[in-house]
Structure formats: C-alpha cells, structure tokens
Amino acid sequence: MVMGFNTNIMHDGVVYHIQTESRKDAGIDTTVYTRGVVIHRFKSSYQDLLDSPDFSDEKLKRRLEEQHRHIIARIRGGEIKPAPQQAGPA
C-alpha cells in the first residue's frame, strides 16, 4: 500500500503545506495549503500504471513523488501562491 507525501516549505515568507496521495479511483491528488486554506489542487491519473502488466507499488510511489516534487518546484518558481489576503505570516 502506497502512502502519500506531506511537506512543509517556506517560500517568500509564506509556509506552504503540500499533500500528495493516491485515490482508489486511480487518481493522484496534490493539495497545497497556506494557513489551513486550500490554495491549489492538482489531479492526475495512474490508470496507465494499473493497466500495465509490470505495475508495482514502487512505480506508483515514484509517480506520487514526481507529482509532489513538481508542485513544490512550481511554488518555488512563483507559479503557485496564495491570494494577497492569505499571504500573511503563518
């Protein structure tokens, strides 16, 4: 069973909590929070992995980690940020 990933990062004085997890419907959800408020969601599918004869939990774990790291990179690149009223100190 593949668990998910949870990471807190600080960027431009804002603490972001990033949570990535697999779903039973072959989805991968990544949610970004600041101060307890959802500011971004990204969903993808791992159905292609499930359909593959060489599916493994390790491959799914790598897919989750790739998506998780991609969202962190987007935060650090300034693409994902809270609305101005949510950007205060944590």
Cα four-point dihedral sign 34, 7, 73, 21? negative
Domain ranges of the chain: 5-81
pLDDT digits (tens, 9 = 90+) for 37-66: 999 999 999 999 999 999 999 999 999 999
Q: How far apart are CA 45 and CA 35, in angstroms?
A: 28
The pTM of the whole model exceeds 0.95: no
The confidence band for 3, taking pLDDT boundaries of 50, 70 and 90, is confident
Percentage of the chain beyond pLDDT 90 is 87
Q: How far apart are CA 32 and CA 24, in angstroms?
A: 20
